[in-house]
Structures are given as structure tokens and as C-alpha cells.
Chain A
């Protein structure tokens, strides 16, 4: 094909393709609904596919499906060119989990595309009870059970969840249990065992938990959902790699137990000293020795054991013991989590140090708890313990440590009791050392810096004065002249001569000359040489002339002459 021919054909092919695409895009939109089966059981899941064909991509609105739980399962988009007609379609998949049995009509799904409202065809689905699909007995089911549905507040309730299975399952996913209103304690790992039901052997997975209701009234434990893949029997082999997980086809099953209703009863009016324990409990006590000296320590052990809310076991109140010091030790506890429930014990140890010799009786220690089996409060009590306290040997009044291995020279020291150190009694403990406020701290940081800067400035000035001996004289000329004028103003002496000397001294200081030796003519000459304006030079010369005339003649001076001189010198100071 020549170059000219190709130039003509290429645009033509493109035009044809564009026309075809435009025709495809213009094809009428549609909405189709499809479900993978019309009959199912409560354990099955159905897949609903809504396909929107057309230019739009809006997601359809599902019909009302109260009898199903709906889970979105993704979407896929396809573009097809068939017989020269192009079309696009978007498929939306939903998983429907049946919640009840019956015949249900799945109404039309709707979608609006380009202002056009499309609806799918309705269809019906029949949902039957699990196991009734083919009249066979069920190979997979689960049960939930409570040891009692009318417990007291705080009573232990055993929750048992079991999965019975004869089929092989995989990828089991159990939703978390919800026990609102209960304190929950796990009773070990998942147990696996075999059992026979109606003559058939099942593999059972069992989960047990101990629940302790915390409030009276009606509580509900919602049904928990288990989703798993089940291998199918007697079914044609699938060609799909994904369906053939076990070498046979699989099916997704969703199992639910029944929700459990619990009516929690309030405890009857409690007697004084009620410990808060609900269950069956025992209380035992023992001492490390029954005979000791004054100041010697003996360990009293109180052990509360039983079945129920053992994690809440409090310390039984010890009766007041006269002439005995009591030191607490850290309690120990042991909790057993068995399938039969939560049980355990808590041990409290106290170091008793008798302070007086003689017979010492430890009265019974009591623990009040509620026994739900008997619907009554019960009191567990220890036996009375008699101790013989002997007088102390030596002057030691209290020994908190004792030695072991006395046969060797050095012995290890065994700590008999741990306790906190006492409170601080000194009055000075109230306030503690003064802490500077941020403002005080800032002042303490800045003040030395400012003082240093001032010292630095003074040092630099001193240095400059050293470098230039006339500088200090020049800078201080005005201040010196002012001091002299103030002294003259305060009276005394020959005023005109003093004023003249003050002016000459000022001019001498500013020009680096000996001021006392200057005449009016010298002053004019040096001031003119320094570059001062002529009228200012004349003003100074005239002033000195007048003062001289007043000094030697009879000419008077005005009273405010010192002020005039001060003003003149200030102006001169700026210009010299």
C-alpha cells in the first residue's frame, strides 16, 4: 500500500471504530438481578448479583430484605464489543444470609441512569430450616448453653458454646462473643473431643467462659455467628481450583446459635460485714508457731478458697488484738480456670509481734458470703488459736529479723516482714525548698548579664580615654563648666573673674589648651582655627571682653548672665 493510500485508510478505520463505540454507548441501559439459587437453608448463603448495563455507573438501590443480612461482596466492570456493538456493564455482588424460614419475594432493585429509572425483575426465594433440605440429619450445627438462666448478681454462670461436626470444615471465622452486663473470665483454651448424638459420632469444639452478672434485670447474650467452608459430599467435581480446597467442592455455611435470655436476681438484704463474695467459700487459718517470746514474730496465715467470684476475694477483717503489733505481708492468690468453672484461693499473711508475756488467744476470723445454691448468706469462720508468749530474753524489745544457720560464724539475715517507711514528721516538710518563679529566675539570669554589659561599656570608655588623653577633657568640659557656674551662682568671690575663668577653662578643655592662660584674643584665634562659625566666635570673644571690662572697670553685668553663659556653652559643646 502506498503512503498516500495509508494516509486515507487510517482515518477511515478510526472513524468506523468511533462510530461503533458511539453506537454501543447509545445502547439502551438495563438492570438485571440474578441469584445463585432459589432454595436454601438457614445455614446457606445466597449471592445476589445486580448488573447495570449502560453508560452510567450508579450503584442500584436494594429492595427491602428484612429476612436477610446483607453483606456487600464487591463489584466488577466489563466492556464488550460484540457484532460491532460496544457495551459496558457493572456487576454488584451481595451475600444474603437468611435470618428466618419461609417464602420471600425479593422485590425489584432500582437504579437511575441519565434520568431514566430502571428496575429489575422481582423473584422469590424459599428458605428452609437447616437440615431439612434433603431430609437428612445435620452434619454441622452449634449449641450455646448456660448453667443457669436466673442467677444472682455476682453469681458464677457457666457459658458453653459447642460446634458439632461430622463434615470437614476449613477457614472457620467466629464473631466475638458479646457479654454486656457481665464480667467475663476465660476457662482455658478451646477443647476438642468426640461425642455421640442420636447414635452418630460428632467431633465437638467447645469454648467455656465464666460469666458474672453485674446488675439485676433481664440481660441478653446475642447469638454468635460462625462462618466456615464445608466440604460437599456426593457432588460432581468442580473444575474450579478455588472451589476444590479439599480435593472436593466446598460450600460456605453460616451457623448461628440461639440468643440466650438471663434474668438476674438481686441479692437479698445483706448482713453486716458481707464480703461481696457469691459462691461457696471456706476460710482457714494457721500460725507458724504457737509458742514464742515477747517481741518475736509469728506468722498468721488466712486462706480463703472456694468457687465463684474468687478474683474479688477481700481480706477478712482481723479482730482487734490487744498488746500485739500486726504487720501486713503481700497477699498471694491462685486462680484455677477449669471447664467446671472459676475456683481458687487467696492467702493473706500477717506478722504478729506480741508485746506482753502470757497466754494470747487469736479469736475466730469471719467471712460472710452469699451461697446461691442455698439462697442464703453464710459465714465461714476459723477456729480460735491459742498462743503462749514467753518473756523476752535480754533487753531487745522487738526483733524484725532473725538469723538462720547459726552453726557457722556468719549468718544470713532473713527478712521476716516488709513494710513502708514511716511518714516525715518535721514541720519543714510542708513547704520544701523555695522554688524560684519563672520571673525571678529570668531576673536572676538577666541581671548579671546587664551588669557585665555595663562593666564592659565602662572598660571600653576607660580604654578610649587612655588612647586619647584629650578625649576625657573634651567630654567633661561642659559638666565641669556647669559645676563652676552653679558654684558661682551660689554666691561668694569675685563673680566676673570666676565667670571669665569658667568660659576660658571651657574653651581650653574643648581645644586641648591651658584655659587659664587664654586671653579673649587667643580664644578668638583658636576658636576660628577650630572651624567654629564666626558669629559664635564673636559671641564668645564679646563675652570675654565684657567680663574683663566688668572686672577691671565699672561696667555692670546682668543678673542672668550665668544662665546666658550656660546656654552659650551648651551650644558650643555641640559644635566643638
Chain B
């Protein structure tokens, strides 16, 4: 067991970005964000994917959080052969720009390379149809929509105080209230109970029956597998397969993405 763990840990280390040669250019932290962005794109075009990853990550660490930044990072990971991290970056990008066609195509392409035949955690079709706005809008879009609907609702209510007989006002206000409740509820769910997906990063990892490396190995997972997160405990993640089977994996072996 210990030897097997050593092997898996070495795989984890292999999957993590290794420190590259010191760059000749100024450090990413010192450069302007736009400069780092352009330099990362140039590195990507020159097939220096490790350098591109380094620069895109530096932008993320500086607090930039655009959907295209995650998307580009996903591309660089995928070109560098890091399937799990690529899928995790694409999922992060999808949370920020859920209707982007390029992103959808690349995520689909990356998923084809995953070894495990595990369907990614997606909402049931009926739920996705009924609450389409919840899945079709990013959190930022949802927040702005709620703010605008809220402003319209209370403005309309205020207008009725002075013009109570305004034609169609009652129906319009009722519709605004329904829309506000729907989008507001969706936003509350996004903030309070965000869906989290676990993406396996190393080539192969074991899933144990308990959060203990000495416990029985229930099944094995491979890079790029996407699973539901059911809980966390002391550096361990409790994950579930679509069939309902559950297991524990070390959190260092996976990327947790808020989707």
C-alpha cells in the first residue's frame, strides 16, 4: 500500500507544473496585466505551453478572474498534456461565460480524452429546462439581472403610489415580482450552495472507503474524471460516481471547481 501511494504521489508531482528555467523577461508580477496577457499568448503561439501556463496563472494570482483567462489557461494545460487541470480550467471558465461556443467545443474535446467512462455531473434535463436561467447565466450576470429587476419592481411600486390607476401596472408588477423571485432564488443558491465539481488531476488515483490511506481502495480514477463533491474532511474529499458509489480521495489529487 505504501509503495503504491508513493507511486501515486509521484504521479501527482509529475502532473503539477514543474518549475521551469528562469525567464529572461521581467517577472510576471512586475509587468502590466496587459503585457503579461500578450506575453502569455506569444508563449502559447510559440508552443512554450509551460511558460504560457506560468503567465496565465500569474494573472489569476493578481486577482484577474475573467472567463477568457481561465479558457486560455485550459488551452495551455491541454496542449501541455495536463488533461485534469485543463478540464478544471474550462469548467471555471464556463462558470463565468456559460454560453461561449469555443469554450464548449474545447471542453467537449478535452472530455473525449478522459479515460474513465464517467458522465460529467450535469443537471437533469428537466431541471435545466425549467430553470434555464440558472444554468445559462453566470453569477455576475445573474447578480446584475436581480439588481435591475429589483430596481424596476420598486420603481413601479413607487409610481403606483402617485398614479394608482396606471393601466397594466398590476400585471407588470406581478410579472416583475415573479422574475425577481426566480432570479433572486437562483442567485441565493449560487452564493449559499454553489455546485462544486471535483476533477482528477494525476494519471491515476485510488478512491478509498474512508479518509485514510490505509483503508480499502474502492475504485480507481484517472485524469480528467469529473465527479460530484459530497463533502470534505481534513485534506480529503468525499466524491460520488453517477451510479451513487462514493469514495474518498486526497484533496491534493484533485481540483475543486465551483460550477
Contact = CB atoms under 8 A, between A and B. Distances in A.
A429 B154 contact: no
A431 B36 CA distance: 13
A196 interface: no
B157 interface: yes
A364 B79 CA distance: 24
A interface: dominant SS? loop
Given A421-B102, A432-B96, A445 B6 contact: no
B116 interface: no
Given A435-B143, A436-B147, A214 B6 contact: yes
B34 A448 contact: no
Interface string B67-93: 111011001101100000000000000
Contacts of B144: 436
Interface residues of A, number: 38
B169 to A, nearest CB: 14
A213 to B, nearest CB: 9
A82 B152 CA distance: 94
Contacts of A426: 68
Contacts of B41: 423, 425
Contacts of B2: 180
A422 B101 CA distance: 12
A3 interface: no
A445 to B, nearest CB: 5
Interface residues of B, number: 52
B154 A448 contact: yes
Contacts, number: 114
A363 interface: no
B91 to A, nearest CB: 15
A291 B67 CA distance: 44
Interface stretch (A101-109, A111-119, A449-457, A473-481): A449-457
Nearest to A449: B154
A429 to B, nearest CB: 3
Contacts of A423: 41, 44, 71-72, 75-76
A374 interface: no
Contact of B154 (A181, A219, A430, A451): A451
Which residue, B2, B37, B112, B191, has most C-beta atoms of chain A within 10 A?
A: B37
A455 B150 contact: no
Interface string A438-460: 10010011001101100110010
B94 interface: no
B interface: dominant SS? helix
A452 B157 contact: yes
Contacts of B154: 448-449, 451-452
B237 interface: no
A455 B2 CA distance: 71
A180 B1 contact: yes
A214 to B, nearest CB: 5
Contact of B64 (A430, A444, A459): A430
A426 B69 CA distance: 10
Contacts of A456: 158, 161
Given A180-B2, A420-B109, A449-B154, A429 B147 contact: no
Interface string A398-435: 00000000000000000000111111111111111111
B66 interface: yes
Nearest to A438: B191
Nearest to A456: B161
Interface string A250-283: 0000000000000000000000000000000000
B143 A330 contact: no
Interface string A233-249: 00000000000000000
B147 A430 contact: no
Nearest to B161: A459
Contacts of B33: 430
A311 B37 CA distance: 38
Given A432-B140, A436-B147, 18 more contacts: A181-B4, A214-B4, A214-B7, A215-B3, A420-B78, A421-B105, A421-B106, A422-B75, A428-B66, A430-B64, A430-B66, A430-B69, A431-B64, A432-B67, A432-B68, A436-B140, A441-B143, A452-B154
Interface of A: 180-183, 214-215, 219, 330, 418-436, 438, 441, 444-445, 448-449, 451-452, 455-456, 459
